[in-house]
Amino acid sequence: MKKSFFLPAILTIAACGVFSPFAWSGSPPAEEPVKLTVRADRPLLNHADGPQEVIVRIDVEGCHPAPRAERNPLNLSIVLDRSGSMRGAKLEQARQAAEMLVERLGPDDIFSLVIYDTEVEVLVPPQRVGRNTDHIRREIRRIEAGGSTALYAGVETGGRQLAEFFDDERINRVILLSDGIANVGPSSNREIAQLGQSLARQGRSVTTVGLGDDYNEDLMTALAEASDANYYYVADVEALPGVFENELGELQSVIARRLELEITFPDGVEPLEILGRPETIEHRRGKIRFGTLAAEQSREIYVACRVDPGFAKDDAKPVVQARLAYADAENREMKTEREASVKSVDDAGLAAKSQVADITARAEIYRNAAATERTLALADAGNGVEAKSAITQQIGRLRSAQTAAPAQAAAEIQREIEVLEKTQSELKEDGLSKEGRKSLQWNLFNRRNAKTLDQTQKGSDGR
């Protein structure tokens, strides 16, 4: 779902379909496929207040492209857990979801299917879908449940299936579905994440789908995050076809790949942090990489810095500059940049009126993500009482931000509060239930990866 927040600010804003002097190298496209917007929550600073924190929101938004003769073809490898725990409704829904996906692929798309339990089997070698749809569907229908869970080997094999037809024109992705704990071969979060990083360096990404309440959510999120793909928590097996449909819809509408966002701060501005994300700022510079961006999909980033009003007393000056490089759907290298500026004034009332309340409020949602990570660590360590106390403090901070928030931001903050209240009600002295922990981790994944809940919740039963 498209997320749009058009707010007043004293800066240049890009628009879809408008040329930028930084937009391309080589022949220009008909329009810019990606819109980059940078906005400060305090465009005017009161000179008498001394150093002040400024929050800058950076939006990377996929525009709806002009009609093209054809989309980028896909190179997909489904890696399906068929261990004993998948027996029954889980495996039946997984088969149906895989069949639905095959039916929606185009003739030039590449499909392969890997199944695993104790051993790994390439059930459908990589091939153009073409006229092979019926054959592929028959192979899917004959999948039966087996033994243990060789997850690492399954993903590794799925990654290899992408190699035969790999090229930069295709969207190359593994989709892993599992309901259990990896118990054959490498099984630590570190080893699985390293596998994901290795595949990412080869231009391949891994979306993970966790089914039920018995899989390792830390492992599944680590694998998805390593290549900037998606992670889904599916508590209800009936939602599984919808998850596959959502994933396929995103892949079929990709308009930009290999995105790299560079954030820099000028001398005189003290960078503080990128809110709710693992990336750090070093030498006044931070970098965030995205694997893909779909049409009408957006990523939002919040960065905090400290500014002395004397920095911009005479004229407005940029406090953050954002540079975005990416490859468009036709594999052309694109670049665009924007900046957010502030100015110091001697009128406290004017400075207060200029504050963009939506940015200030929504930034607290991302700050809350980092606090929730710490709370989760307390719960995992069996410190349930301390974790409950930490949640109470988190809720208090969110409610304070909510009072001054515009309606839409206030509604999003309320959803964050409800997640925390539900977690607190389920929290025992020795930690969280399986379901409660997965719900919380799923929410965290979306915040850490700048993916709003509305974009990824369609078809998923994460709560």
Q: Within this chain, do residues 331 and 347 fall inside the same structural domain, yes or no?
A: yes
Q: How confident is the model at residue 16 (pLDDT cuts 50, 70, 90)?
A: low
Q: Which helix (H) or strand (E) holds 195?
A: helix 189-201
Q: What is the pLDDT of residue 186?
A: 78
Q: Within this chain, do residues 201 and 308 fall inside the same structural domain, yes or no?
A: no
DSSP 101-147: HHHHS-TT-EEEEEEESSSEEEEEEEEE-TT-HHHHHHHHHT----S
pLDDT at 457 over 80: no
Long-range contacts of 237-241 (CB under 8 A, 24+ apart): 237/89, 237/90, 237/93, 237/211, 237/212, 238/93, 239/459, 239/460, 239/461, 240/93, 240/94, 240/96, 240/97, 240/177, 240/209, 240/211, 241/93, 241/96, 241/97, 241/100, 241/459
Least confident of 14-28, 44-58, 84-98: 14-28
Q: Within this chain, do residues 314 and 368 fall inside the same structural domain, yes or no?
A: no
166 CB neighbour count, 10 Å cutoff: 17
At 323-343, the pLDDT tens digits run: 999 999 888 999 999 999 999
Q: Within this chain, do residues 312 and 272 fall inside the same structural domain, yes or no?
A: yes
Domain that holds residue 243: 74-252
Asked whether residue 16 is domain-assigned, the answer is no
Q: Within this chain, do residues 165 and 45 fall inside the same structural domain, yes or no?
A: no
**Quick check: helix, strand or coil at residue 62?**
strand
Q: What is the CATH number of the domain that holds 302?
A: 2.60.40.3670
Boundary residue ending a domain (328, 355, 382) = 355
Asked whether residue 382 is domain-assigned, the answer is yes
Boundary residue ending a domain (234, 252, 270) = 252
Distance, CA of 121 to CA of 112 (rounded, Å): 11
pLDDT at 344 over 70: yes
Q: How confident is the model at residue 451 (pLDDT cuts 50, 70, 90)?
A: low
Q: Within this chain, do residues 190 and 116 fall inside the same structural domain, yes or no?
A: yes
At 225-249, the pLDDT tens digits run: 988 899 999 988 889 989 999 999 9
Boundary residue ending a domain (305, 324, 355) = 355
Exposure on the CB side of residue 93, measured as CA atoms within 13 A: 22
Asked whether residue 315 is domain-assigned, the answer is yes
Asked whether residue 5 is domain-assigned, the answer is no
Residue 453 structure tokens: 């809940």
Task: Report how many domains make up the chain.
Answer: 3
Maximum C-alpha span of the chain: 75
Q: Within this chain, do residues 144 and 102 fall inside the same structural domain, yes or no?
A: yes
User: Which residues share a beta bridge with 52?
Assistant: 307
pLDDT at 102 over 80: yes
pTM recorded for the entire structure: 0.86
Q: Within this chain, do residues 272 and 309 fall inside the same structural domain, yes or no?
A: yes
Q: Within this chain, do residues 154 and 53 fall inside the same structural domain, yes or no?
A: no
Q: Strands, E, within 16-51: which ranges?
A: 34-40, 44-46
Q: Strands, E, within 241-399: which ranges?
A: 254-264, 269-274, 285-294, 298-307, 317-328, 333-345
Residue 223 structure tokens: 């694998």
Q: Within this chain, do residues 348 and 386 fall inside the same structural domain, yes or no?
A: no
Q: What is the pLDDT of residue 76?
A: 96
Q: Within this chain, do residues 233 and 379 fall inside the same structural domain, yes or no?
A: no
